[in-house]
Amino acid sequence: MSRLRVAAVTGAGSGIGRELALACAREGMALALTDIEATALAETASLAGALGVPVISQMGDVGREQDVEAFAQACDAEYGGVDWLFNNAGVAVLGPAWLATADDWQWLWHVNVMGVAHGVRCFVPRMLARGTPAHVVNTASAAGLATLAGSGVYAATKHAVVAFSECLAHDLQQAGAPIGVSVLCPSLLPTGIHQSGRNRPAGLDRTVPPAAAYEERVRVGMAASPIGAAEVAALTLEAIHQQRFYVIPHAHTGASVERRMHRILDDFRAQHPLTAEGGPTAQP
């Protein structure tokens, strides 16, 4: 009897994480789920279990390496490893860059960046040791590809996730590993990330409330999204099957990326008007 494929999902209690778990369950995959919220995690596990697949769940803080390692060990013990890893957990703060506190920076870096780093460090060596096809999906954001006012800390962490994912893909390709990588970059859609402060550690509570204009921008953006978390999950699984790296669910993200790239290239050409295009590609 063949072994069931296994998907591990962080931030599985709600939003995109929950829908990724359910989408994998519909593909007949066994699930390993983790989240910092017990009730939400149990709800996702129940919904996935109702689809008839094996499910294990474990509370944890992805920013704590010991929690992620314990999660990886539980996956090994229950399933013998993981085929697809979704480093999905994320949090956000809004406000002018100069008002962001050290606590804001520490919290977002702890979850958004170190959560992904711990996932890769704890799971990818195990995938390499198994030597079978696998895939890693790191959830970044459209704010990891383009920027706008009021998102300084959040965008910085999501740019870090995109860059780390790109390097991970290069490293795995160089190693000849059968492990694909995708980076998920959704724009605003109806999720609970605008309420992520509910899980902010008490020791990192020093922050500045975002101005009403920022909160309204998020509310309008979420309401206007033409797609929801379930559609994002479906597009992500499609990207895995097609071995695509960038997963960009919202069509309007393309215009933002294009504006940013044009600005970079315009400034480059102003400084290097005689430089021919092309040349070596090994250097950034």
Catalytic residue IDs:
154
Classify residue 227 as left (phi > 0), alpha (psi -120 to 50) or beta: beta
User: CB atoms < 10 A from the CB of 200, how many?
Assistant: 17
Q: What are phi and psi of 42, to 5 degrees?
A: -65, -35
Q: Could you give the 3-state DSSP secondary structure of residue 179?
A: strand
Q: Which residue has the tokens 């990588």?
A: 181
Six-digit token pair at 39? 């009730």
Which among 266, 235, 269 has a CA at the least distance from the CA of 250? Answer: 235
Q: In angstroms, rounded to a whole number, what is the distance separating the alpha carbons of residues 108 and 233?
A: 23
- H-helix or E-strand spanning residue 270: helix 253-271
Q: Could you give the 3-state DSSP secondary structure of residue 130?
A: helix
| DSSP E strand boundaries for 185-234 | none
Six-digit token pair at 274? 């005689």
Q: Are the C-beta atoms of residues 94 and 18 closer than 8 Å to each other?
A: no
What residues does 181 pair with on adjacent strands?
Answer: 136
Q: Which residues contact 49 (CB under 8 A, 6 or more apart)?
A: 55
